[in-house]
Chains A and B, each alone.
Chain A
């Protein structure tokens, strides 16, 4: 069974609104990472949060991690049409980054 599962599977919002995506996982992790993928392209790393961190910010992105609930959330504030993409969480169990397990992703559509 997969380690990470994103929720919702699809999300449609208006430009300027905030978008929140959630990720749940099953086993203890070393770190959790969020990636973005534009249609038919490779994934781009957004942010990494370690198991001893609770919150992290990068520009309009805010990531939280709750290890007791084995969940993480990605918040994109003031969304733009260019944020339209699929967003994936990936868990690193061993540390070192050489075996990430990805979820199925959340498809975000930001409409003008």
Chain B
């Protein structure tokens, strides 16, 4: 978890709210990821950014909007979410062409009311 910082740690929002999750990596990596972790389900890969370009979008609803302004920062903008979107959202980074392992942040526990 060291080297990847996520804020906020907890977020409660109503279905009409707009909020953003932030992720910052201090490891000099060239790829960043958003994963969703729901109870009793496998981690779901949502988005992948490699060299600041989105290279993966796993059919995620448009109410989730990622942004990667540079190689160190990743955002997930949220709007008009549904209660089933409540989950732990994990950011990760890696070095493509390097040792192929992911470094995760501590996650944002999101509750949608």
Contact = CB atoms under 8 A, between A and B. Distances in A.
Interface of A: 2, 4, 31, 33, 35, 40-45, 48, 88, 90, 92, 95-105
Classify chain B: how many residues form its interface, as a range.
20 to 34
Contact of B42 (A44, A48, A95, A104): A104
A42 B41 contact: no
B42 A2 contact: yes
Given A97-B94, A98-B48, A100-B45, A40 B88 contact: yes
Contact of B1 (A44, A48, A104): A44
A2 B109 CA distance: 23
Contacts, number: 72
B110 interface: no
Q: Which of B35, B88, B98, B104 neighbours the largest number of chain A CB atoms within 10 Å of its CB?
A: B104
B11 interface: no
A18 to B, nearest CB: 25
A42 B56 contact: no
Interface in B29-87: 31, 33, 35, 40-43, 45, 48, 50, 55-56
A41 B106 contact: yes
